[in-house]
Amino acid sequence: MLTAVYVFLWASLLFYGLHLLAGRRWGAWGGAAGAAAAWLILTGELAVRGVAAGRWPLANRYEFGLCFLWALLGVYLLLEFATSERRWGGFGIAAALVVATMTLARPVEERAISPLTPALRSFWLPIHGLTAAIGYGACTLAGALALMELVRPGGERGAGWPPPERIEQGMGRAASLGFPWLTLSILTGGIWAEAAWGRYWGWDPKETWSLAVWLAYLLFFHLRAARGWRSCRLAGMLVAATALLLFGFAGFPALVRMVRLESLHGF
């Protein structure tokens, strides 16, 4: 199923690319149709997986990756619908492809539906996992739009691109949408940690990395409101925050294993 999603995402990227770079109007509709098809297939895949497993599909990093991708595409489609802006579709879908690739790169055994370990049998698993997925999705989309702001060509070559203020608005809206979900995921994680391990905060590497990601996005909002940071500097800050977020999802667990850090978190 993820292969079909992958194909639709590539097709969507191609169409959105034609819309942005060659000014083809039909490219925007093709891109949106591809993204919507990928989102619908993912929704079906997650529902089937959840029913077959008898639990929320959030038991390992492959399943979390599917939810992350689902949330990212959902937030992107919502933003496109709310703003009627399709020129940033290529960057949104490129971010989705990065997450899809990270998810596809997970070991094959994670794709098999397995029962939950006792540690994950908790009321808080779906709440903590889903809120994190939505927060990750929206904040990654914000980072993708920030990257668009950074690479936007100047002068006549950037004539077909959305103006910098428009992109800044888009990244601000996506980050504003995602930040409360990131906050909620840390809060629910703390409540779950208190019920499971006897402390709401334990300086576990995964927890501390999540705090670093949250602080990076908080800093983005602070710099934007307080210091009047705009365009490239602000976008650079957001790209750095998103790099931390994506590394926390894909790279950090590998680093924890590689340097043998001690973590109570499975992923």
The residue ranges that bind other proteins (CB under 8 A) are: 82-83, 114-115, 117-119, 121-122, 124, 168-170, 172-173, 176-177, 179-180, 183-184, 186-187, 190-192, 194-206, 208-209, 211-212, 215-216, 218-219, 221-227, 252, 255, 259-262
Of 25 and 121, the one with the shorter C-beta distance to other proteins is 121
For the bound state, the minimum distance from the C-beta of residue 67 to other proteins, rounded and expressed in Å, comes to 21
For the bound state, the minimum distance from the C-beta of residue 178 to other proteins, rounded and expressed in Å, comes to 9
Of 11 and 139, the one with the shorter C-beta distance to other proteins is 139
For the bound state, the minimum distance from the C-beta of residue 195 to other proteins, rounded and expressed in Å, comes to 5
Residue environment code for 141-152, b if the CB has 16+ CB neighbours within 10 A, otherwise e? bbbbbbbbbeeb
Rounded CA-CA distance 235/75 in Å is 19
Q: First-to-last CA distance in the chain? A: 23
For the bound state, the minimum distance from the C-beta of residue 251 to other proteins, rounded and expressed in Å, comes to 12
- CA dihedral of 82, 234, 177, 63, whole degrees rounded to 10: 110
Of 97 and 235, the one with the shorter C-beta distance to other proteins is 235
Of 24 and 126, the one with the shorter C-beta distance to other proteins is 126
Of 13 and 213, the one with the shorter C-beta distance to other proteins is 213
Of 26 and 201, the one with the shorter C-beta distance to other proteins is 201
For the bound state, the minimum distance from the C-beta of residue 66 to other proteins, rounded and expressed in Å, comes to 22
For the bound state, the minimum distance from the C-beta of residue 220 to other proteins, rounded and expressed in Å, comes to 10
For the bound state, the minimum distance from the C-beta of residue 38 to other proteins, rounded and expressed in Å, comes to 26
- Tokens for 113, please give them: 């539906």
Of 139 and 147, the one with the shorter C-beta distance to other proteins is 139
